[in-house]
């Protein structure tokens, strides 16, 4: 029997169900009476998975395997494509690969159960041939060349490569033209066998769905036999310092682009502490660098910044960093101004008024997400991946105090943790 747990929020008047299926698959069903239903079927197998061991044997994959597999999973033995079936059901579908996971997605207003059934079926019944894989190598090679020609993409990737010594998060998710040329049907089937097991996968649904009906579909498509997930992804040691502080290249841009990265290796093992750090860092960055703040307006008026400057903190169990990006005629001087702003905040202290405002903004943004089945599905996937419960967020935010932000400000942003990546006009 599958175990079903119910989570409720009195504040939001919402609830969802967490189901431990007999197969090992984790299922999350968030009933919501809205026009569309959103589904995400994800697997813990992303672009950063290159080396792992299984039954005492080491396995090294070509870079780009997870992304390549995402493309090929849509092929059916009869020559059709999974997209065609979703289209016939009046649904939208898509997929993406990140460093940590691969996800297959659909959105539908009708035929929801048929969409769920099809989603589960095509992701768990791979079909590859030498001909189709060879053809896909050419398609993805074009995608790789397109990314290399994209100055925004290159600026970001250059930042990660300069920031990390060993962390595979710096690996380009698409791989390289050389690495994908080594991918064969046998390699893809091996990835499916080792990673696409129910215990390593998660199904999240938000919309007009019934938990019992979803369990019946999973029973029918996935089955109830339990196959243990046994792959052991290789760990790595990552120094606190960056690999190099500055990287630059020239491309066809009208104005210099920049990505400023600030490396953070103090990643808490406890996901709740990690989420507290995530929220705290993002609140702190908004207080220091938001478009409504004095610093941004001063940089804009001086011509050091163009509109569109963005800052944020990215965090997972494997990596964490601050990133600021935009356009500037003098990125090196801008970086110095950013460092001065951080030092000024340390000297003068943080404003409690600004803190309370930003904290309320973060909470209101969380509440607003519940008006979208898509936002709920993605948030639930993110929280559940880390073993957390979606309605814990208000407690996480409330635990962020001004004193905690002051600690983050004083303990982070070390001089040797900064990276500046610049794309200048040819």
Token pair of 41 as six digits: 């079927």
**What is the spatial distance between Cα 94 and Cα 73, in angstroms, rounded to a whole number?**
12
- Helix (H) / strand (E) element for 8: namely strand 3-9
Q: How would you classify the pairing of strands 320-327 and 310-315?
A: antiparallel
**What is the spatial distance between Cα 420 and Cα 335, in angstroms, rounded to a whole number?**
8
**What is the spatial distance between Cα 274 and Cα 366, in angstroms, rounded to a whole number?**
17
Q: Helices (DSSP H) in 89-226: which residue ranges?
A: 112-124, 130-148, 151-163, 177-180, 185-195, 211-221
Is 55 in a helix, a strand, or coil? coil
What residues have CB less than 8 Å from 125, skipping those under 6 apart?
Answer: none
Catalytic residues: 70
What residues have CB less than 8 Å from 236, skipping those under 6 apart?
Answer: 166, 167, 168
Please classify residue 284 by burial: count the beta carbons closer than 10 Å to its beta carbon, then call 0-12 exposed, 13-18 middle and 19+ buried.
buried
Residues 353-363 as b/e (b if ≥16 CB within 10 A, e otherwise) read: ebbeebbeebe
Please classify residue 303 by burial: count the beta carbons closer than 10 Å to its beta carbon, then call 0-12 exposed, 13-18 middle and 19+ buried.
exposed
- CB contact at 8 A, 408 and 313: no
**What is the spatial distance between Cα 252 and Cα 150, in angstroms, rounded to a whole number?**
9
- CB contact at 8 A, 173 and 64: yes
User: In whole angstroms, what separates CA 409 from the centre of its chain?
Assistant: 25
Q: Which of 272, 284, 263, 292 is nearest to 395 (CA)?
A: 272
């Amino acid at each position: 029997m599958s175990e079903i747990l119910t989570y409720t929020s009195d504040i939001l008047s919402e609830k969802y169900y967490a189901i431990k299926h007999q197969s090992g698959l984790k299922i999350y069903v968030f009933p919501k009476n809205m026009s569309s239903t959103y589904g995400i079927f994800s697997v813990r197998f992303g672009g950063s998975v290159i080396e792992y061991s299984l039954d005492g044997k080491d396995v090294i994959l070509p870079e780009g395997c997870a992304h390549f597999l995402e493309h090929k999973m849509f092929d059916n033995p009869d020559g059709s494509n999974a997209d065609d079936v979703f289209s016939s059901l009046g649904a939208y579908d898509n997929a993406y690969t990140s460093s940590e996971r691969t996800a297959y997605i659909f959105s539908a207003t009708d035929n929801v159960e048929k969409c769920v059934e099809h989603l589960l079926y095509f992701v768990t019944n791979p079909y590859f041939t030498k001909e189709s894989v060879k053809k896909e190598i050419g398609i993805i090679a074009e995608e790789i060349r397109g990314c290399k020609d994209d100055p925004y993409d290159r600026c970001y990737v250059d930042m990660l490569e300069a920031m990390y010594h060993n962390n595979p998060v710096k690996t380009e998710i698409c791989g390289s033209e050389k690495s994908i040329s080594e991918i064969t049907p046998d390699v893809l089937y091996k990835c499916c066998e080792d990673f696409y097991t129910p215990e390593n996968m998660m199904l999240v649904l938000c919309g007009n769905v019934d938990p019992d009906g979803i369990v019946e579909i999973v029973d029918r498509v996935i089955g109830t036999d339990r196959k243990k997930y046994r792959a052991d992804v290789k760990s790595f040691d990552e120094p606190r310092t960056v690999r190099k502080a500055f990287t630059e290249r020239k491309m066809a841009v009208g104005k210099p682009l920049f990505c400023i990265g600030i490396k953070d290796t103090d990643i808490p093992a406890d996901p709740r502490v990690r989420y507290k750090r995530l929220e705290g860092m993002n609140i702190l960055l908004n207080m220091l660098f938001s478009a409504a703040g004095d610093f941004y307006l001063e940089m804009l008026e001086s011509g050091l910044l163009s509109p569109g400057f963005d800052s944020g903190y990215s965090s997972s169990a494997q990596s964490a960093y601050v990133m600021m990006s935009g356009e500037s005629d003098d990125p090196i001087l801008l970086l110095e101004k950013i460092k001065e702003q951080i030092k000024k905040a340390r000297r003068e202290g943080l404003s409690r008024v600004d803190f309370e405002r930003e904290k309320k903004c973060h909470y209101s943004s969380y509440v607003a997400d519940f008006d979208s089945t898509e936002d709920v599905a993605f948030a639930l996937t993110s929280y559940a991946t880390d073993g957390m419960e979606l309605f814990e967020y208000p407690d996480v935010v409330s635990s962020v105090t001004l004193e905690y932000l002051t600690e983050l400000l004083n303990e982070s942003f070390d001089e040797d943790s900064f990276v500046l990546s610049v794309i200048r006009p040819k």
